[in-house]
Structure 1
């Protein structure tokens, strides 16, 4: 919905139709389903039921904190939907290193026992950052195989430090039934280890995969070509990063943070961001790091970089710091209870200074059921009855803002899933001509004839030919319109500026409002971190210089207070 402006259910069902005999697997974040928050239990159950009906076979259920109560909801929901349930342990630390603290072999064995007691069909080790060394893989998988001889064991890792192949072979030799790999063109670094390498190294051994390498070459060439289409979206990472054993950033987050730091002109701060990530993790009590807990650590790390804070300063100044919202929510207990409990006195300082009560037990347990019937009625009133079905209502329940933005986009541009990928990603140039199938038997030939120079307000006229018929379309060129509106920098105590580059995602005041010093004015999103911008003085809001969705640079004027 967010990036492709497509219906995820239709995408899944079309894939299922074309691949009827290969199991499909998905990640289920326990009580967080496929989001960053807690959902009512009936939403999680309804999602699993629909996902299974649309084509998902295997539900890999995990929780970002390995919190058993959250895990149990996910296991129950996936199981009752008829899926194959895989209980996944979010792996952190190093079981082979006794100095690494609480994440020892005993910790994971206890978690595995709890999964088996829940009735899962298989066990998974979910190594998000690539921390599973060959020695640790041998020790952990071997112990699991001995204790649960009849339960399939599945191992997932990322190749961030470059040791993935060695670790997966060690896991296989210790008794793992399945390991995750990626086809060569998509493997390595923060992806999974190379499939071709693993197949070759195990050929002729007791663990021979039986995969015919002669059939893999064509697929690999295909994916090399596909990857070239997406080069503008690559993170820029050129090699592995063995320092992951120190900072423990998960693979998916590593590339996101690297890409976003470059976008924001903070490339020179990347080593510091990684160091602060490790510090932030310890501030929060050394927690497993996977969505959404990894976002909490990442938000705090970015905050520490932006504010030039170290671990001790964060703990000492906890009552007065404007922490990212995700950090406050974590300390409140909104995503569950971390292994070993919350960090103290940090938690008490943050909650007491804000007058916030802690969440007791599973965060979603007290949420009322979601009213699907009422939501369906409202959505049909807004978008039209023929454009809303049960799957749409479910998508809205999970991602209300993203769903709304997608439907508003679709109401303007129609269904864009039919567009060829390169055309969707890159604009046409004058005299370009493309042909694609709109519906079975209906082909469209589109040629871009001309684009006029922009007017003062940024409007251009674009001329197309559609199957030989000429069309004229007025289009606002955002880049031209925005260039005319250069923001001035804030100066003085009564002018509130942006602390860093980012996007305005919320405004809490309007012109004429009376505010007191420290009161929230706006929320800024930067590199997946949301920062609340407080008033620098008491008074009346004279001018609000930004709108929601505006991109700002550091020190750009946001609000004037009189």
Structure 2
């Protein structure tokens, strides 16, 4: 027993949960000194999506963020979330890339490496855990929490004991959906300790179900040493319990954190202002408690993805059917925890099953998962599912080794490629490029463009009533206008109304909006681009909206029924398009990189 420590998540998982991971380094550094004074068990500030998003959307170098925060918080243990052999991405990487990443993460300032594998395949955690120990880091080995007939209290206790034997320094129970109940939290932690477990246990749970505060209390009663929290402006909902509330709840008990509540209130006030800067990213649903998750078991992030995917395909009316299909697919795929990347595999397959018929369309990622390329599925996959996904020769496609054992080393090749392009400025750039080849290359070339924040977006103007209305919702309202192209580039003035009648407290006001800058309104296809036909004899149509990744045939080439002629990216997954007839490719209507709609004719085969 004894006092409980907290891992503060405001610099990583909190804004990943509520603000789409968009918080900038410039908003972290001013408060770093105060965060460093609290005495947290650890400060999570790197890993997860905070590697991808900065180079993709913020034009920031994640390595530079790490170095700056390390310098600004010399007294705190800095933590990162590391996805085992996926590192900070969505595919397996070879051992040499994993080891290099761990080495440079430690060199630049990470102390604690929270390592997890999406399917709890401990083979995937072995190399990153060894690499952390070799560089003198702290291994916090995680077990992903979910609910299924397989995932019993005994399952978790045994997995935690195995992680201890593998050399972990502490254990994390990672509940990404916020489903852990107070009794389960107590029984798992108590069971681990009574079975001889000696490592500190950290409970990480999102607030989604509303049970997490109660689960945290039972966890410390069972012997948990650490809890994960967020400073309150970025807490609750799909994020985590508020730091200040947990500190207050434990005050005066044997688990008292002994943190200065007044200092936490100063930090809270700072992040309240930061929250306003990113208010345009807030989804009301993300701030709410959703007890229905204990029934459908779909994490908040996965739910928003399902909605977005159905909207993209013009099928939002199928949401209820998809929600019923998700648990069915999850069972058929061996009950994987619904965490990145397996949540995407299950979710997209459920959407495709509803839209096109069960297992009529199968993304490459589903095939890879079933083959074992993500690791060993937690439960049994029945032979009929194997055959539906992989075909009659499915037994020859299953792997029983660690997936990364099949991968060739990449470091030397990636480094040489970067050198030949003249883009190698530091060794860490090789990792940025290796992990995210396309996005990383664009960033390293200096072609990335940062997104706007709320105070840079255009707002209504030119009438006292309008201005007062806006200020009531946006206290830091600024008269800022978004210019997306020079006026001389505009060929046609946008046909946007500029005069409105606005009712405020029962009074009608005439409001005139004077555009300064503005937006082009595009109509029809760009000049010179041939419109794709919807109907043509022998036309092969796209079954869904997506982006053309690869055209695998040429005009004049002969094809047989069932041949794969194109690959599209839809719902963040690759989908092969096969021809239903034999013949000759007469005309191709698309090129790689084109965005297509459902029903667009890709090519003509006669």
**TM-score, normalised to structure 2's length?**
0.76
Output the CA distance in 1 between the equivalents of 2:482 and 2:333: 56
- Offset at residue 261 of structure 1 (A): 4.3
Change (3 A) 1:300 1:263: closer
Output the CA distance in 1 between the equivalents of 2:254 and 2:227: 15
* Corresponding position: 1:359 with 2:399: yes
Partner residue, 1:173: 221
- Offset at residue 503 of structure 1 (A): 2.7
Map 1:133-282 → 2, pairs under 5 A: 133-148=181-196, 150-237=198-285, 239-262=288-311, 265-282=314-331
User: Larger deviation: 124-133 or 352-361?
Assistant: 352-361
- Offset at residue 85 of structure 1 (A): 0.2
Partner residue, 2:597: 553
Map 1:469-484 → 2, pairs under 5 A: none
- Offset at residue 522 of structure 1 (A): 2.5
- Offset at residue 27 of structure 1 (A): 1.6
Partner residue, 1:502: 546
Partner residue, 1:15: 69
Q: Deviations over 1:117-149 (max 9, x none)?
A: 111100110112112111111111111233345
- What SS class does the counterpart of residue 345 from structure 1 fall into? helix
Partner residue, 2:514: none
Partner residue, 1:468: none
* Corresponding position: 1:81 with 2:135: yes
Say if 2:280 and 2:454, in contact at 8 Å, map to a contact too.
no
Q: Deviations over 1:158-205 (max 9, x none)?
A: 122121111111112211111111122212222112223322322322
Change (3 A) 1:543 1:126: same
Partner residue, 1:53: 107
User: Larger deviation: 298-307 or 338-347?
Assistant: 338-347
User: Larger deviation: 194-203 or 175-184?
Assistant: 194-203
Map 1:153-552 → 2, pairs under 5 A: 153-237=201-285, 239-262=288-311, 265-309=314-358, 314=359, 321-353=360-392, 357-372=397-412, 374-382=413-421, 384=422, 387-408=424-445, 410=446, 412=447, 421=453, 426=457, 451-455=487-491, 487-488=531-532, 490-491=534-535, 494-552=538-596
- What SS class does the counterpart of residue 63 from structure 1 fall into? coil
Output the CA distance in 2 between the equivalents of 1:72 and 1:251: 30
- What SS class does the counterpart of residue 57 from structure 2 fall into? coil
Say if 2:141 and 2:170, in contact at 8 Å, map to a contact too.
yes
Q: Deviations over 1:207-258 (max 9, x none)?
A: 2222333333343343333333334433452633222223322343333434
- Offset at residue 477 of structure 1 (A): 6.8
Say if 2:96 and 2:411, in contact at 8 Å, map to a contact too.
no
* Corresponding position: 1:34 with 2:88: yes
Unmatched 5+ stretches in structure 1: 94-99, 315-320, 431-445, 459-475
- What SS class does the counterpart of residue 80 from structure 2 fall into? strand
Say if 2:352 and 2:361, in contact at 8 Å, map to a contact too.
no
Say if 1:67 and 1:336, in contact at 8 Å, map to a contact too.
yes
Output the CA distance in 2 between the equivalents of 1:509 and 1:242: 50
Change (3 A) 1:157 1:168: same
Say if 2:333 and 2:377, in contact at 8 Å, map to a contact too.
no
User: Larger deviation: 58-67 or 195-204?
Assistant: 195-204
Q: Deviations over 1:277-330 (max 9, x none)?
A: 212101212222222222211221121122143xxxx4xxxxxx3311111001
- Offset at residue 339 of structure 1 (A): 2.0
Change (3 A) 1:349 1:120: same
User: Larger deviation: 230-239 or 60-69?
Assistant: 230-239
Output the CA distance in 2 between the equivalents of 1:504 and 1:518: 19
- What SS class does the counterpart of residue 376 from structure 1 fall into? helix
Alignment RMSD, CA only? 3.2
Partner residue, 2:499: none
User: Larger deviation: 258-267 or 293-302?
Assistant: 258-267
Output the CA distance in 2 between the equivalents of 1:35 and 1:342: 26
Say if 1:184 and 1:196, in contact at 8 Å, map to a contact too.
yes
How many matched pairs? 505
Change (3 A) 1:203 1:264: farther
Partner residue, 1:64: 118
- What SS class does the counterpart of residue 180 from structure 1 fall into? strand
Output the CA distance in 2 between the equivalents of 1:303 and 1:224: 41
Say if 1:487 and 1:556, in contact at 8 Å, map to a contact too.
no
Unmatched 5+ stretches in structure 2: 1-54, 462-480, 495-518
Say if 1:128 and 1:251, in contact at 8 Å, map to a contact too.
no
User: Larger deviation: 327-336 or 28-37?
Assistant: 28-37
Q: Deviations over 1:517-552 (max 9, x none)?
A: 222232333333332222232222233223333332
Say if 2:336 and 2:377, in contact at 8 Å, map to a contact too.
yes
Output the CA distance in 2 between the equivalents of 1:507 and 1:246: 42
